[in-house]
Each structure stands twice: as C-alpha cells, then as structure tokens.
Amino acid sequence: MLRHHAAISPEEPAHAARAARSDARRRQILHAAVPLMERHGSTAVSMQAIAEAAGVSVGLIYRYFASKQELVQAVTEGVLDDMRRLLAEALEPEDDPVRQIADAFAAYCTVIRDNRQAVMLTYRESNTLDDAGRGVVKELEIRTVEPLRSAVDAAVEQGLLRPIHAELFAYDLLTVAHSWALKHWYFCPRMTFEEFLRDQTALLLSTALRPEHRHRYPDLLGVLA
C-alpha cells in the first residue's frame, strides 16, 4: 500500500539555510563586538569599529542590530539563554535535589567561564538598556533561576537542607558563580576554574546541609565533609 507523504516545498530548505546564515552572522557580529565594548565601553566603540573587527560592512550590522543598545541586550540574552539550556541539561538526569543544586551551580559557573567578557559587558552596560530592555533581561534571569530555586525547595522539603530561604540561596549561588568573572583578576592566578568550582560548591553546601546528611555527599563537600 502506497503511503502519501506531504510534499516538501522547495522553499523550505532554502529558508532553513537563510536562517542558519542569519544566525551565523549575528554570532559573528556579537563575537567581534563583545571584547571591544567590554574593553572600551559601548559609547566609545563605533559601529564602524565593530564592522571592521567582524569583517563585515556597517550596513550589514544594521540589518541585524538597530543600535549598540540592541547589541548589548543580545549579548545579555545570549548568556542567560546558555544558562537556561545548560541548567536544564544538568538537572534532567539527577533526582537528588542536593546534587541538582551542585550540578546547576556547575552549569552556571561554566557559562560564566565561557562567556566571561560578555558577563562583564552586561554588568557594565546594563544601564544603557531602556526600561523595556531591562524588563526583558530581568524576566529571563528570573526564569533562569527558577529551576534552581525549585531544587532548593525540594531539598528543604525532604529535610536535606536547613529551612533556608530558597530564593535567597539560589541567588547566592548565582552571585558566587558570577564572581569568577567579576573577580577573575584575583582568582585566576591563585586557582584553576576546577578548584574554584570544587571549593565554592563545598563552602556553599556546607552552610545549608543538615549535619545528619553530610555523610551522603563527601564528593561535594571534600575536606568539609
């Protein structure tokens, strides 16, 4: 019996190819813009300078970004999107909420490490965003932290953690993760990223875990177990 398949429009592969080229162009422009704006500030960097660094025309940049403010916002949203994606991947295979917290913190730190200049740029340039832009960024950040807050809530409900404020602890974890970028000048000469992640995880969890459960997590607590 013959099966009838829906005809594939010849325009669909072409549309997908155009979308892929567009995404690649956006990444190319952002990759060039981030170090320039992080080093000199967005107001001091011209679109021409960004175009030269990206190897494209100024006109092409304006096809994707109407202003430097849009560039800054795209960088910020990109970091948060990476966090949300890696966080989902980190939490999915694990059902122990304490280990979910540790895995989520590791995901945050990894994104910060891999996007350090972009993170610094978002801190320095967030004041250049308009109210709508800041609102979008705040909403994205809240959505990014939500799975971690839920894991903290679950750990408290299961009696694994002290009765701590879940949202406060979740933001503490996020703030400490950002410190790899904010205090990179201090941490980097003194420890590796892996040592930073290991020791910060141990310190943070040791303050929250109930004493009677510490023996379950010697790999996370290290010498503090």
Report the 10 Å Cβ neighbour count for 149. 19
170 and 91 Cβ atoms separated by less than 8 Å:
no
Mean pLDDT of the chain: 85
Q: Would you state the pLDDT for residue 184? A: 94
β partners of residue 161 = 209
Q: Among candidates 30, 16, 25, which has minimal Cα distance to 71?
A: 30
CA dist 221 to 52, 77, 104, 177, Å?
Answer: 48, 33, 16, 17
Q: Are 76 and 122 spatial neighbours (Cβ–Cβ below 8 Å)?
A: yes
Distance CA(154)–CA(97), nearest Å, equals 6
pLDDT of residue 4: 47
Side chain identity, residue 132 = A
Q: Is the model's pLDDT at 197 over the cut of 70? A: yes
- Contacts (Cβ under 8 Å, ≥6 apart) of 99: 217, 220
Closest CA to 173 of 198, 195, 131, 205: 205
Cα 165 from Cα 159, distance rounded (Å): 14
First to last CA, the chain: 66
- In angstroms, the CA 155 to CA 60 distance is 50
Instruction: Dump pLDDT digits (tens) for 51-62.
Output: 899 898 989 888
Between 34 and 206, the more confident residue is: 206
All domains in the chain, ordered by first residue: 10-66 (1.10.10.60), 67-224 (1.10.357.10)
**DSSP state for residue 212 in the 8-state scheme:** G
3-class DSSP assignment, residue 219:
helix
Q: Considering only 2-16, 125-139, 164-178, 203-217, which range has the smallest mean pLDDT?
A: 2-16
Contact 97, 155 (CB under 8 A): yes
Entry pTM: 0.79
| CA distance linking residue 20 with residue 22, whole number of Å | 5
